[in-house]
Chain A
């Protein structure tokens, strides 16, 4: 599968949020937490608000680093979501939506008061 974008730049806000998550969950890899954030956003039926997201942090990674073994699956999921939302599946749309979803998901996770340790994160994956 063709990746929706080559390099992912995170905002400073996302970085801060991820830092918090890192502390809580003891997961010390950005990419894993980003995966969780991305999936968390996709799980929300609402379309992410098209807000501008600055790439003002020093955290950046390639798509393959972000997805790892799940790169293709995640790309498919994004495509499906964009299709479902009726936004089209062109590469630009995909890239934009990905950034929106990623940052929204990270925000969700960081703001979730129920998530205090790794178990709570895992619980998210089991509740549905």
Chain B
């Protein structure tokens, strides 16, 4: 990781936009040091703060922040001469590896006075492309690149170093930083995670109640499946029956419709005809009865009637003759008187007399032919005449006709009756109806049975399904439990292993650290006989020094400068042991050090502390000699001078140093 560029805009004492190139390379030469010169209050610490703020935002531990809230801090950091509407911004560009490719990140934070939402606006550019997704998770991302916990060991100032040196036991922050630098926290986190995992699994196991054994469930399932099979077979049988019954019912119904309907139609038609014919016959009979009440019986005695008729006529004639004789006798008397009067001769008179006599004789003969006994009156005679001449014959012919008609009707009737006799009897119809009813009731029964069987099947299927589920659940739980148990047992082992690993790792790392720190410390120290070995406590990470005789050297015996050198040695050692290639920024690097130690630092530490070393120095710390020394070693890549303009009350950054 190399810082490339820092841009300040209206931040702190820096008015306007100022771009600081931080590239440690110059003309292909490797020069790690970027030297910033500035008087007290000139803005050196502000630059350091700017880097911290850019990297960590709200979480940054800035020197001037104190207990201020982040929005208040942001507001405070705005340059007081900033024009209204103009933004305050910090941009930090650095090179790092992302997905195995070296890319250039550019962090851009901007805000205004009294920032909205109390926050700054963060923009992350990767190779000049804005990456909003990365901006969202920047806080996590930066932990991979430069964890906040160790940032103080790489971006530190002399005051902090002094504190670090004077403390017997390092602060928890430093301890954390050391741990994370040495990679110890990973093992610890792993142990904790395993512990959590074990606890969770234990809880799971505790929750899973004691279940019936797998065999029981399987036995149950087998039993249920057998039952289901039986029920299914039963269902199939009943289904066959149902199909058969449906067919039967259909056939019976068809037959009923076909034959029954025909029978009913035929019968009813025949019965109507029969009724009609019967009525006709009755009608004819009635007519005959009517006739019988008339003159028809007289035809039995027609000869008698003819005789009577003759007798009547004879009697009539006799009566007539009697009347004629009387009239004639009267007329004869009158005529004879008249003839006597006119005086006809006697011969003629006798002749006339004889004529009359003869006439009367004839009449008398007529009259006396038979005696009168019938003595029918005129009306009866007329009636008799009528009957004999006309009525009787009429009546007879009518009777004949009626008889004929009756015969025909009776024949018809007989024919219909025979047809009816041949036609299917109502019993057949009833039989058909009964067959249909029977088939229907059969069908209903079978349907009910089918429904019952189907339900049984369904129920069993559900039960089996449940049992299967139970089995699956049980198996799963079983597996889970076994898994859990395995995890728990394995975890214990892992914990033990991990503990061992951690101890060994700590020892190893600390041993390494101890030797590196000792090396650094001795390298920086001009009193080479003071300390032989630096030891680090495995728990508290406090340093203790031992002399050549193996005796503990109490810390208070060290001078303030030596303590500071020890702290720097610690930092250097940590940086080297961690293996991280991170830039180092040192604020006020050479306070309280004598010239010998300064020289050591300038000569031995600064150029080799890292591949990028930013030094923020006053003119007394890295003075003319030191600068020239560094320059002579080609250690300085860039020099900047922070000029504070008291009139404008702002600082500008210019290339170059005090000298």
Contact = CB atoms under 8 A, between A and B. Distances in A.
Contact of A43 (B288, B301, B307, B380): B301
Interface string B406-423: 110000000000000000
A126 B299 contact: yes
A125 B374 contact: no
B389 interface: no
Given A73-B384, A125-B299, A119 B406 contact: yes
Contact of A77 (B296, B301, B379, B400): B301
Contacts of A29: 293
A47 interface: no
A35 B402 CA distance: 21
Central interface residue in B298, B304, B403, by most chain A CB within 10 Å: B304
Contact of B301 (A39, A72, A123): A39
A70 B299 CA distance: 12
A26 B380 contact: no
A95 interface: no
A61 to B, nearest CB: 14
A125 B396 CA distance: 8
A82 to B, nearest CB: 9
Contacts of B288: 118-119, 122
B383 interface: yes
A14 to B, nearest CB: 16
Contacts of A124: 300
Pick from B289, B302, B406 the residue with the most CB of A within 10 Å.
B289
Contact of A73 (B293, B298, B307): B298
Interface in B272-293: 285, 288-289, 291-293
Contact of A118 (B285, B377, B387): B285
Contacts of A119: 285, 288, 403, 406-407
Interface size class of A (residues with CB under 8 A): 35 or more
Max chain A C-beta neighbours (<10 A), residue from B300, B308, B374: B300
Nearest to B395: A125
B490 interface: no
Contacts of B289: 25-27, 118
Contacts of B305: 73, 76-77, 80
Contacts of B383: 72-73
B295 interface: yes
B304 A27 contact: no
B311 interface: yes
B399 A122 contact: yes
Contact of B292 (A72, A79, A89, A118): A118
A125 B300 contact: yes
B285 A73 contact: no
Interface string A14-40: 000000000001110100100110111
A26 B290 CA distance: 11
B384 A76 contact: yes
B553 interface: no
A70 to B, nearest CB: 6
B655 interface: no
A119 B301 CA distance: 19
A26 B285 contact: yes
Nearest to A40: B300
B177 to A, nearest CB: 142
Interface string A66-82: 00011011011101110
Nearest to B305: A77
A36 B374 contact: no
A42 interface: yes
B198 to A, nearest CB: 121
Contacts of A77: 298, 301, 304-305, 308
Given A29-B293, A76-B380, 17 more contacts: A25-B289, A26-B289, A35-B297, A43-B304, A72-B377, A72-B383, A80-B305, A81-B301, A83-B374, A119-B406, A122-B402, A122-B403, A124-B300, A125-B300, A125-B396, A128-B300, A128-B302
12 contacts: A25-B289, A42-B301, A73-B298, A76-B305, A77-B301, A79-B373, A81-B301, A84-B304, A89-B374, A122-B296, A125-B396, A126-B299
